[in-house]
Amino acid sequence: MKIVTLTLNPALDKSSSVERLVPESKLRCGPLQLDAGGGGINVSKGICKLGGRSMAVFPSGGATGLRLQAILQEAGVEMRVHAVPGETRENFSVTETSTNLQYRFTLPGLDIEESQADTMLNIVAQLQPDYLVASGSLPPGLPVTYYEKVAAFAKKINARFVLDTSGAALKAAADEGLYLLKPNLAELSALVGVEKLEMNQVDDAALEVIQHGSCEVVVVSLGAQGALLVTRDGFEHIPAPPAKKRSTVGAGDSMVAGMVWALSEGKTFHDMAQIGVACGTAATMNPGTELFQKADVEKLLGWIKEYGERYRFRDF
C-alpha cells in the first residue's frame, strides 16, 4: 500500500530550553534542535520510524527549505518537492525547565497560490497513492476550502484520504467526505454544530459525522485519556498508557502516522487505533519536536493491549 503525505505549510522547527522565561532579560538557552516540521512531513517521519515507507510532497523555498530537505534526507524520508519563491517558515518552541511548561511560537507560512498547490496535487496523482494524508494548517494564499478540493481529488484518483486539520478547513473537507478523521473534542463539537460535548456524547457525535457521509472512520483524540474509535458498527475506547510528558509537539501527527502505517499493513481498525495511541503517547515522552522512538511505541503498545482488553468493542 503506497502512502503519500501532503504538507502545504511546512516549517523548519527549532526548539531549545531555558531555566525560566523572564521578560526583558538575556536568556541563556540550551542546545538548539532542528527538525523538519509541518503536519504531513511529521506523518512521513513517523511512518519511517515505524519501518514503513511514504512519500512526502511539499513546497520548499529558499535556504530554510533546503535545510528542511537535508534533514529529511538524513532521516531517510522520501520526498517530492515543488520549489516556490521566498523562504520556508520557521517555528520555535522553548521549554522552561523549572516548570516543564512549553512555549510554542508559530510563524506565518509562505504565500502559496492555488496554482502552486494544484501542481503538488499533480505530483500526488503521478505517485498513485492508496492513502493520501493531509495534515496541518493551510498557508496564506489558499482558500479555506482547499482541503475540500483535495478530498474531491482523492476520490478521483481512488485514494483513501486521511485529514488532520481544524476550523473551517476541516468543516469544508468533511462536507466533501473522506476516509478517516482524527478530530479532538473541540473539532468534533464544531463538526456537529455544538459548543461543547460531554464525554457521554462523543460516540453519538462521531457516529453522526459518519452517517452524514463525512467519513468512514472517526478516531477522536482525547489527550491523556486516549482515543475513541468509532465506525458504523460500534465504538471502542483506547486508553492512553501513563507516560511522563516532556513535549506535545507532533503528538497528533505521530498518532496519525501510526494509524496510517497500521492501515497500510492491513491491520484492523482496533489495532490501528491502539498503535495510533501508542505513537501519540510516545511522542510526548521526547523533548522539543523529536516525535517518538519506536522502542517506546512497542512498550506502550504492550500496555495498551493488556490494559485495554476491558474496553472491548461495543455495539451502539
Active site residues: 253
Cell triple for 292: 517518538
- Give the C-alpha separation, 97 to 108, whole Å: 27
- Give the C-alpha separation, 93 to 30, whole Å: 12
- Give the C-alpha separation, 299 to 10, whole Å: 31
DSSP string, 249-315: TTHHHHHHHHHHHHHHTT--HHHHHHHHHHHHHHHTTSSTT----HHHHHHHHHHHHHHGGGG--B-
At residue 158, φ and ψ (nearest 5 deg) are: 60, 40
The count of other CB atoms within 10 Å of the CB of residue 77 is: 22
Task: Tell me which residue has cell 538548539.
Answer: 32
What are the angstrom distances between the C-alpha of 4 and each of 133, 266, 281? 6, 17, 24
Amino acid at position 304, single letter: I
